[in-house]
Amino acid sequence: METLDWVIIAGYFGLLAGLAWWVIRKNKDTADDYFLAGRNLGWFVIGASIFASNIGSEHLVGLAGSGATDGVAMAHYELHAWCLLILGWVLAPFYMRSKIFTMPEFLERRFTPAARTILSLISLFAYVLTKIAVGIFAGGIVFSVLLPELNFMGLDSFWCGSILVLVLTGIYTTLGGLRAVAYTEALQTFILVLGSALVTFYGLKALGGWSELRAALDSDMFNLWKPIVRAGAEGTWLPVREFAADGVTITKEAWYFNTHYPWLSMIFCAPVIGLWYWCTDQYIVQRMLGAPNEQQARRGCIFASWLKLLPVFIFIIPGMICFALAASGKLAALQQELIDPATGEIIRGNAQAAFPLLVKTVLPAGIRGIVVAGLLAALMSSLAGVFNASATLFTMDFYSRLRKGVDQSRLVWIGRVATTVMVIIGFMWLPVIRNSRGLYDYLQGIQAYLAPPIFVVFFFGVFAKRLNGPGCLATLITGFIMGLFRLAIDTPVTLKGYAYTEGSFFWILNNMFFQYYSILILIVCTIVFYAVSYMTKEPDYDKISGLTYGTVTAEHKAESRSSWSAIDVIMSAGVMAAIIAAYLYFRG
C-alpha cells in the first residue's frame, strides 16, 4: 500500500461517511422508517442493495479461493440469478400485499404465530453461523494479506481487520437503519464492481490474456459440467470420495464425501438453497419490502439478477488467474504462497487469500487503493445488511410481540441493542470458521442444513392452500433438529480435528456429502408437512385470502397484472439467456 492508495481509500470513506450522514439526517425515529426505510426505496437502490448485501466475505475470500482450487465449479451457485426472478415474479405479490416487516411475520399470517417464532429463532441462529461471523472473519483475512505487519496492543492484522470492519460498519448501520444501509450499498456496489473488474483486467494482463489463462490451467477448471460428469464416474449417481493415482478408479467408499460436487446433489440441493436464500431470507428480502409498490419491488429484483451474473467474472476468474500465475511461475511471490514445492499442488488452506494476494501483487498504485476500497465496501455492506436484518427480526418478531403498545423510538433502541449482542456472539464463533476446511464450503454446508425446512414451508405454503399451521410447525421443528444434529456432529471435527471411528454412525454422517444430507432433510420435511397437514383440519381460507395461489382474488390478480410491462419481461428473459450462455460456454 502506497500513499496514493491510502488517499483513495480515505476519499472512499469520506464519501461513504457523507452519504451516511445525509441519509441519517433524513431518518424519522419510527420502526417503519428505521427497519424498512419508510417503504420508499426505488428499484435501482433495491437492486444495488440486494447485490451488495449478497457480495461479501464468501465471495472475496471463499469464492475466489474456490476458483483457485476448483475452477468454475462453484459458479453453479453464482448463476442463481434466476432465483431473484422467482422472488420478483412469483413471491413479491404475496409479500407486498401483506405489508409485513419480516419473513417470519408472513408465516404468522399464512400459518400460526408459533411458526413465526420458530423461523425467527432459526434465522437469527443462521445469521450468527453464516453471515456475522464469516463477514468479520473475511475482514481479518483481507487485512492479514494486505497489511501483514499491522499489530496493535498485541492483536495481529487479522484481529485488527476484523474489529475495524465491524466497528465502522456498526456505526452507520446502528444510527441509520435500512435507509442508511441501502443507500450506502448502492454506492458500494459501484465501487465493488469497478474494483473487482480492475483485478480481472490487470490479472489477465499480467498473465498474458484470456488465451494464456486457458492454456495455463486444466480444461476441467473451465468446465461447469465437471460436477455432473467426472472421468471414471459416468455410471454412478454417487459422490466420489477419492480417486486412485490414475484419477479414474473409484474406491469402495465412493458414496462418501469429498470436495467435488456430484451432479445429483447440485441439481436437487443447490436450487433449494438458492430459492431459500434469495426468496425467503430476511437478509435479502428486507430490501424489497422497502419498496413503495409491487412494480418497484419486481424491477429491483430484475436489476439485482443482472448484477448477480457478475461474480463469476469478477471473483471466480480472478481466483483462477491467481492460481495460473502461481502455477506458471510468472509471479514468484504467488508461487511461494500458493504452491506446495514438494507436490506442485495448490495449498488449499492458502487459497482463501487468492483475491487479496492478486490485489497485492499485480495492481499498480492508485488502482490498488480503488480495489481495496471495493473489498472493504463488500465486507461492510454484507455486514451492514445482516446487522439490520438481525435487529429487525429480534425487535419485530420478539420484543414488539412481548411488549405490545411500546413507542416507536423504544423499538429502534431495542434494535440497536440486539445488533450489538449478535456481533458479540459472532466473535465467539470465529475460531470454528478459522479452522474450517474452506470458507465457501463452510458457508454452503451450514446453509444446506438450515435451508430445506424454510424452503418447504414458504413455497409449498404459497402453492398449496390445504397445508396448515400444525404442518408448518412440525416441518420447521423437524428440519431444524436434523440440521442441528448434523452441525453438532461436524463441529468437533471442524474445530479440533476430532476423528470418529471409521464406519461408525457418526463417522458416516460426518463424511456424508453435505448436499446429500440436505436432500434427506428436504424429503423428510416435505413428507412431514403434508402428513401432519392432512391429519389435522384444513385452514380457514378467508384468513389466508391473498396469501396463496388458491386464495388469490380477481382484484389481487388485476393489481399484479397492472404492475408489470413488456420491458420487465424482456429484461427477465435476458437474464435467463445470459445464464444459458454461461453454461454453454463453460464446458471445459
pLDDT given for residue 530 in this prediction: 97
The reply to whether 293 falls in a domain is yes
Phi and psi angles of residue 246, each rounded to the nearest 5 degrees, phi first: -80, -5
pLDDT digits over 156-205, tens only? 676 676 677 777 777 777 777 777 778 887 887 888 888 888 888 998 88
Is residue 96, in this structure, part of any structural domain at all?
yes
User: Mean pLDDT lowest for which of 300-314, 495-509, 553-567?
Assistant: 495-509
Is position 351 within any domain?
yes
Which residue from 76, 122, 518 is spatially nearest to 281, judged by alpha carbons?
Answer: 122
Q: Is residue 52 part of a domain?
A: yes
Cβ neighbour number for residue 540 with a 10 Å cutoff:
9
Most confidently modeled range among 250-254, 306-310, 344-348: 306-310
Residue 502 included in any domain: no
Distance, in Å, from the CA atom of 568 to the CA atom of 565, rounded to the nearest integer, reads 6
**Residue 529 is assigned to a structural domain of this protein:** no
Residue 363 near residue 198 (C-beta atoms within 8 A) = yes
Question: What is the number of domains present in the chain?
Answer: 1
CA distance 118 to 123: 9
Mean pLDDT value across residues 15-21: 83
- CATH code, domain carrying 297: 1.20.1730.10
Is the residue at 478 inside a domain?
no
123 lies in some domain: yes
Q: What is the pLDDT of residues 393-438, one digit of tens each?
A: 888 888 888 887 777 778 878 877 887 777 777 667 666 555 554 5
The band of 235, judged by pLDDT with boundaries at 50, 70 and 90, is: very low
The domain containing residue 74 runs over which residues?
A: 3-227+262-440
CA distance 513 to 236: 15
